[in-house]
Structure 1
């Protein structure tokens, strides 16, 4: 395996959407995103892959080994958060491409006789930063989201998903490959592997997650001419909800639930106007579904309490609810075996974050693998994973894909 070629290619991706603080800003459907997809597609074609683009903009690089057979699918995503990190998602796509190149060499050398074909995928809009919800491309392909409804979703500037894909040349019409199994490798975005000095995480399940869309409605007025008792200011009420969202975790066991307000929009956002409306999104994730439901109940009740106390209106509605996804036990064991066979340390781990594998796991046997994130930092410009950990992940991932191509999880189909 040409590990240095992989590292060189992965480091090259940092040029696309590079920020001044060593991160990337490569949101779905933007010019830098399109440029990196062009580079990825060119690399795949040069290595002998066929490239297809489906109607939601997922990019597939295919290798055919067996006429008419289904595909073992592997990959992740090339889009990023605003001012995001260089490793999130992108590592999984480039590692998948280089694993596939290595497998192609083994097949051509007569060292392997795959049962299935192989495809590397770059899913569209995993991040959900520009277009909500997240995990978009894989969810459409898996039949979880409606294609036409998803293409009509708009960003903050009123641009639709369809228009964004057209603008970068990735609104496709090709049929997605039939999936026999799926494997994804990703940075952990947490620090359990680092805490335990372990190189590989075999992912067992995702956390239960849901979001609350909250609309705080007050009344617009003049900041200088309106006395305090006559105001119906939406912003202080919204600020109280932000603080309550952080404080609610104190009701639960340590490190069993996480909460945040990551999106917060003020109208009209003028320095001399009392805000009339604030829209915010509360994100709740926990190991146990009951904990998310309890936190949601506490926060909804608090919305009603604040609305009464401040004589305003607060509307909270549920959206983007995602139940636990449990990955197949045999897939977890496959990761453990692959790590053991290559002499690399491994432990079982849960994922607090969502990934495309959460969607694909609903339609095909799926294996999810993590490599360490330094300090647990992610969705941030200082996100970092060492070259050594990246290569260890590539080695294990290649072994996993090889076993999937041999049909090791066929009994789960």
Structure 2
């Protein structure tokens, strides 16, 4: 084994050891993690990452929305190529979602620094790593909050005042965990992110690297169904204005929207139902829920929206309830820069990694970032497509191939191969 191969083996072993250490924070009994935004477990991951970065010479900054940045500068005053993802999780979630991308970015940055140390002239762009705040949107809505504020799509004051289900605001939660920062990220010239696919396509085709060309559009709504509180025993059925009945019919109606759409062109879901008063002997007076429509076809999405509005009216009549709808989070179909996709495709070929172009069905922080700087989004396979689940899994070989791929992408971006 040559020197390069020996170093590669050392680097790979170090990555896997660090990933195991990171996965132990907030670990669940079934092998997943529970690290919702601005909880103690989330704080612990931020502390772990900050210490890891400082020990390797990064300057660490935290901004007002809790995004954590690690900066490596070799060209004073030059913009940065930013890489990263998120460390927060869904409840009882997998250990790969988001966390892999943050650690891959950190290791790629260190490998790039070591490579540059032996070069006569540093590249024109510096490199930085980010852990975005509240990408998942489970405790605080909307999702992708940290990158939303960073890109100006979400107002900082509005984000900080957002409450969780217990009425604790983002500002309060960040202060409680000690990550209400004042730092700022310097100018950036590009962004790269790697993530587990959260789908079956790569595994099914035996492909290692997914090259994301575009995203599905998403329409997310906050919905409140209002009825009238009553006694479950004594109130006549025809007199009931059962908010839970209305919500249940809405759940079914949302699912049945796909019957009117082309195959595999529409996803719908309803989640996080909050029932009031949630007593076993009381007809519910109110149900709050989140409703989600997604499609790779804008016309399909708009038609689903129109049908949904008609369903709202029908349910209000039949269940004798009132339905209030507010937008929670929208994003449209917008491609990633074609030059970045082509560059990444060429790199995968040079590295001997199988690859394919694809879309992302899920939202990622890169969905925001691609609108302000040239952005590359990469996937590695997810076993059986399992995601937001403790049994999420990606093989060591695929994880390591992804870090190698990301390192080379960052190298090309730092030398200016992908510009506006």
Q: Alpha-carbon deviations, 1:185-238, whole Å to 9, x = none?
A: 000111111111100000000111011222211111111111212211111221
Shift of 1:112: 6.7
Matched, 1:103 2:112: yes
Corresponding residue pairs, total? 411
Q: Alpha-carbon deviations, 1:126-178, whole Å to 9, x = none?
A: 11111100111111111111111111111111111111111111111112121
How far, CA to CA, are the matches of 1:112 and 1:350 in structure 2? 37
Give the ranges of 4+ consecutive aligned residues of structure 1 lying more than 6 Å apart after TM superposition.
none
SS in 1 for 2:30: coil
How far, CA to CA, are the matches of 1:290 and 1:381 in structure 2? 35
Q: 2:151 is matched with which residue?
A: 142
Q: Alpha-carbon deviations, 1:62-111, whole Å to 9, x = none?
A: 10010110000000000001111100000000000001111111111227
1:400 to 380, 397, 409: 409
2:52 to 43, 48, 51: 43
Q: Alpha-carbon deviations, 1:21-43, whole Å to 9, x = none?
A: 11111011000001111011111
**8 Å Cα contact 2:141/2:328 also seen in 1:** no
1:295 to 304, 308, 312: 304
**8 Å Cα contact 1:106/1:112 also seen in 2:** no
How far, CA to CA, are the matches of 2:216 and 2:120 in structure 1? 39
SS in 1 for 2:256: helix
Shift of 1:286: 0.2
**Gaps spanning 5+ residues in structure 1: where?**
none
Q: Output aligned runs, 1:148-227, within 5 Å.
A: 148-227=157-236
Q: Output aligned runs, 1:5-404, within 5 Å.
A: 5-110=14-119, 113-404=122-413
How far, CA to CA, are the matches of 1:219 and 1:91 in structure 2? 47
**8 Å Cα contact 1:220/1:273 also seen in 2:** yes
Q: Alpha-carbon deviations, 1:380-406, whole Å to 9, x = none?
A: 111111111100111111110000001
**8 Å Cα contact 2:245/2:319 also seen in 1:** no
How far, CA to CA, are the matches of 1:400 and 1:40 in structure 2? 22
Q: 2:3 is matched with which residue?
A: none
**8 Å Cα contact 1:327/1:361 also seen in 2:** yes
How far, CA to CA, are the matches of 1:255 and 1:330 in structure 2? 28
CA spacing shift, 1:114–1:247, aligned 2, 3 Å: same
**8 Å Cα contact 1:217/1:313 also seen in 2:** yes
Shift of 1:296: 1.4
Q: CA RMSD in A?
A: 1.1
How far, CA to CA, are the matches of 2:202 and 2:224 in structure 1? 38
More moved, 308-317 vs 3-12: 308-317
**8 Å Cα contact 1:141/1:176 also seen in 2:** no
How far, CA to CA, are the matches of 2:321 and 2:285 in structure 1? 10
How far, CA to CA, are the matches of 2:129 and 2:313 in structure 1? 48
More moved, 315-324 vs 241-250: 315-324
Normalising to structure 2: TM-score of the pair?
A: 0.96
Q: Alpha-carbon deviations, 1:324-345, whole Å to 9, x = none?
A: 2210101001111111111110
CA spacing shift, 1:134–1:111, aligned 2, 3 Å: farther
Shift of 1:318: 2.9
More moved, 91-100 vs 108-117: 108-117
